[in-house]
Amino acid sequence: MTTQFDAQEIARNAALADAEMPSQVGAFISVEFDDENRVASYLFDAAIQGYKGWRWCVTVAKVDASANPTVCDVVVLPGPDSLLAPDWIEYKDRILPEDIQPGIIVPSAPDDTRLVPGVNALAQDEGLDATEVFDLGLMRPRVLSIEGRDQASKRWYSGDRGPNTPLAQSAPKPCASCGFFIPIAGSLRASFGVCANAIAPDDARVVSVDHGCGAHSEATL
């Protein structure tokens, strides 16, 4: 009958045969038995560059008590302290604005929930009459959905050009009363506009109506 020690040596030899160099198979760590299926998994340190904390796992099986051990599988698996790659994030979910450089194309997904077909736009949403909405649908296949509009407004309002920044908090008056403030069209008109003051830090950017800065048109010393 083959002893446990013999099976361990068989497992080590299987790992050595699979490794590129003998030095990549380190010390014996432990063995896990599955008595019901007559299977044992032997673990050895994996001294492989770039695989810190990983282990060789060699599965050895015996058909019955009198049979010789058979190697079923040889793999390298991560241990509890192993160095692992971060979870995969799809490109569309990890791209940043600064990644968009000249010549870089980032196609939008056909099922992007931030967009709806242009013909679905409501007149009150775009500030247009029914005929103009129809024309808009022909010119733009898709327009912002309610979800997309909600995401944008929350992002803008909580960002650097919303009301809660140090710049806005120290402003003499809000953007809504500034002569350089241009309200945007559509359903977000009451909440946002574009700054048109050349000396303002937010010139040519979307700002909330309650944002502000020291370059307000009615500011006085």
> Domain-by-domain residue ranges, the chain?
4-78, 111-144, 148-208
Distance separating alpha carbons of residues 107 and 86, to the nearest angstrom: 25
CB-side neighbour CA atoms (13 Å) of 35: 0
DSSP H helical ranges for 91-192: 91-94, 123-126, 130-139, 146-158, 166-169
Predicted confidence band of residue 18 (pLDDT cuts 50, 70, 90)? very high
pLDDT of residue 131: 58
Indicate whether 92 pLDDT > 90: no
Q: Is the pLDDT of residue 180 over 80?
A: yes
Answer yes or no: pTM beyond 0.85.
no
pLDDT of residue 129: 57
Distance CA 138, CA 110 (A): 17
Q: Would you place residue 5 in the very low, low, confident or very high pLDDT band (cuts 50, 70, 90)?
A: very low
Give DSSP secondary structure letters for 60-97.
EE-SSTTSPPEEEEEEEEE-TT---PPPP--HHHH--G
In the numeric block, which tokens belong to residue 91?
């490109």
Instruction: Calculate Rg over the CA atoms of the chain.
Output: 32
What pLDDT is stored for residue 121 in this prediction?
60
pLDDT band at 35 (very low <50, low <70, confident <90, very high): confident
pLDDT tier, 168 (very low <50, low <70, confident <90, very high otherwise): very high
SS3 call for 147:
helix
Distance CA(60)–CA(69), nearest Å, equals: 6
Work out the burial of residue 149: count CB atoms within 10 Å of its CB; fewer than 13 is exposed, 13-18 middle, 19 or more buried. Answer: middle
Res. 64: pLDDT tops 60: yes
DSSP 193: E
- Average the pLDDT over each of 19-23, 76-80, 133-137, 214-218 and give the range with the smallest value: 133-137
- List, for residues 107-123, the tens digit of each pLDDT value: 888 889 998 887 666 55
Please determine, for residue 95, whether its predicted confidence score (pLDDT) is greater than 60: yes
Read off the pLDDT of each residue in 59-63 and give the average, rounded to a whole number.
87
Determine the Cα–Cα distance for residues 211 and 14; give it in Å rounded to an integer. Answer: 68
For the chain, what percent of residues have pLDDT higher than 90? Answer: 52
